């Protein structure tokens, strides 16, 4: 549980985060978790991760992954949907230092979460992590119908936080959805990097190692008060 800090109405800056692979990670890769979900649901795994991602692009639901699994396993979709949500939720753990970081940031700025995915799925992750009250605002793009990197997704979280793009930093790991998307919407993007992950995107105003996420606090201070680290 993260205690709610009192945020003064005069605060004009916000820090917005991505969720998956930025603030929380799974110890096992998603291909392995698909297999684990199929085993739990007692459903033959007739597709691979690439087929899952293709179905996700074509059939992603606003509240759950049911339309994705409808396309992949037909009548076994309800069991597979539930099993996959459970497996992901059980595996998801906070990045070291993230709760301390969020508490420190929330004493200074408004804190938001902008995450892609179905509504029920992402809310279940926040519940399992104990983060239901960790943010001043949460926007899940599944119900919105506009995933990152589309500008409307970023505008939705800015509107909810009541801040302007030039008063917001966006922190995420995906070069195109998070970094290029945030930059296009006028936010200052900070890329979270990790071994085996994507290379820094040229639009990132700063990078931070995921294993040292707490160092983000000083970098955000620099961005808000002195501009880009890369300037």
pLDDT per position as a tens digit, 1-32: 333 343 334 448 999 999 999 999 998 998 99
149-193 per-position pLDDT tens digit: 999 999 999 999 999 999 999 999 999 999 999 999 999 999 999
Strand pairing class (14-17; 168-172): parallel
The stretch 24-48 carries a mean pLDDT of: 94
Tokens 């890769």: give the residue.
29
Residue 230: per-residue pLDDT: 56
Mean pLDDT in the chain? 91
Give SS3 for 24.
Answer: strand
Cα–Cα distance list, 230 to 13, 204, 213 (Å) = 20, 8, 19
- pLDDT-derived band at 133 (thresholds 50, 70, 90) equals very high
**Whether 213 contacts 98, CB under 8 Å:** yes
| Mutual angle of helices 66-73 and 49-59, in 10-degree steps | 120
- Give pTM, 2 decimals: 0.89
Nearest in space to 40 (alpha carbons), one of 87, 93, 90: 87
DSSP string, 87-137: HHHHHEEEPTTHHHHHHHHHTTSEEEEEE-S-HHHHHHHHHHHT-TTS-SE
Residue 2: per-residue pLDDT: 33
The stretch 55-62 carries a mean pLDDT of: 85
With 90 as the cut, is the pLDDT of residue 67 above it? yes
Residue 229: per-residue pLDDT: 62
The stretch 196-217 carries a mean pLDDT of: 96
Q: Which of 3-12, 40-49, 103-112 has the weakest average pLDDT?
A: 3-12
Q: Where are the alpha helices (DSSP H) in 162-215?
A: 181-184
């Amino acid at each position: 549980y993260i205690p709610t800090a009192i945020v003064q109405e005069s605060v004009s800056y916000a820090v917005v985060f991505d969720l998956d692979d930025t603030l929380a990670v799974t110890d096992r890769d998603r291909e392995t978790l698909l297999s684990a979900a199929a085993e739990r649901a007692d459903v033959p795994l007739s597709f691979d991760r690439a087929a899952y991602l293709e179905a996700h692009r074509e059939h992603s639901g606003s509240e759950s992954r049911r339309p994705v699994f409808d396309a992949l396993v037909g009548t076994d979709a309800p069991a597979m949907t539930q099993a996959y949500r459970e497996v992901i939720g059980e595996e998801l753990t906070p990045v070291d230092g993230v709760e301390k970081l969020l508490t420190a940031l929330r004493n200074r700025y408004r804190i938001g979460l902008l995450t892609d995915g179905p509504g029920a799925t992402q809310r279940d992750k926040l519940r399992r992590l104990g983060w239901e009250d960790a943010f001043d605002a949460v926007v899940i793009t599944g119900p919105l119908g506009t995933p990152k990197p589309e500008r409307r997704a970023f505008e939705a979280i800015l509107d909810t936080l009541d801040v302007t793009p030039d008063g917001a930093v966006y922190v995420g790991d995906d070069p195109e959805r998070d970094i290029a998307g945030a930059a296009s919407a006028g936010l200052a993007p900070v890329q979270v990097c990790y071994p085996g992950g994507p290379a820094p995107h040229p639009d990132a105003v700063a990078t931070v190692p995921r294993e040292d996420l707490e160092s983000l606090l000083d970098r955000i201070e620099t961005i808000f008060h002195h501009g880009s680290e890369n300037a």
